Amino acid sequence: MKGRSTAKNHKEYLSELEEPRKSALKTLDKLIRGAAPSFKPYMQSGMMGYGEYHYKYASGREGDWFRIGMASQKNYISLYFCICDGETYLAEKFKKELPKASIGKSCVRFKKIEDVDLKVIEKMVKRAVKLSKTAKN
């Protein structure tokens, strides 16, 4: 798959991928669904999303986004944890536990699934569920 996906659902998105990405994202999808059963899966902006929420800024801008997202990029796999504990984004909190990944504010990027500890990813997903219950979005 090249460029942004136009898949209508997760199954279609995963079918567009080639190995080893397909297996990696299937593994992550199963992990996320298992650890966050309350986060309904859906497609958002060409990515797999889980846990839709509505946001509204003080400026008046508002929209819908996901708590957790996943995408197969050209050079890496991206996991997005769009949630904060009030001070720090979740991905930043786990930087030391994911030394082979590139960590942004809310993004965990890695080339292959073996570069991340799936137990840490599962812990992050569970923490995202817990934080979403008290989030003010």
37 assigned to some structural domain: yes
Give me the pLDDT at residue 32, please. Answer: 98
Give me the pLDDT at residue 87, please.
Answer: 87
Domain assignment present for residue 17? The answer is yes
101 token code pair: 């990944």
pLDDT-derived band at 46, boundaries 50, 70, 90: very high
**The pTM is what?**
0.92
At residue 39, φ and ψ (nearest 5 deg) are -90, 105
Domain count, the chain: 1
> Does a structural domain hold residue 122?
yes
Domain that holds residue 80: 10-132
pLDDT for 12-26, tens place per residue? 999 999 999 999 999
Q: Which amino acid is it at 48?
A: M
Q: Is residue 104 part of a domain?
A: yes
**Type of residue found at 9:** N
pLDDT at 135 over 90: no
Domain-located, residue 50: yes
Give pLDDT tens digits for 50-102.
999 998 889 999 999 999 999 999 999 999 999 998 889 999 999 999 999 99
Q: Cα 84 from chain centroid?
A: 14
Residue 59 lies in a domain: yes
Given this model, what pLDDT does residue 34 score? 98
CATH of residue 121's domain is: 3.90.1150.200
Asked if residues 77 and 129 have their Cβ atoms less than 8 Å apart, the reply is: no
Instruction: For residue 137, tell me if it sits in a domain.
Output: no
- The stretch 28-55 carries a mean pLDDT of 96
5 domain-assigned = no
Q: Are the C-beta atoms of residues 120 and 94 closer than 8 Å to each other?
A: yes
Cα separation, 97 vs 117, in Å, equals: 8
- Asked if 46 and 4 count as a contact pair (C-beta separation under 8 A), the reply is yes
Instruction: Look over the chain and give the mean of its residue pLDDT values, rounded to a whole number.
Output: 94
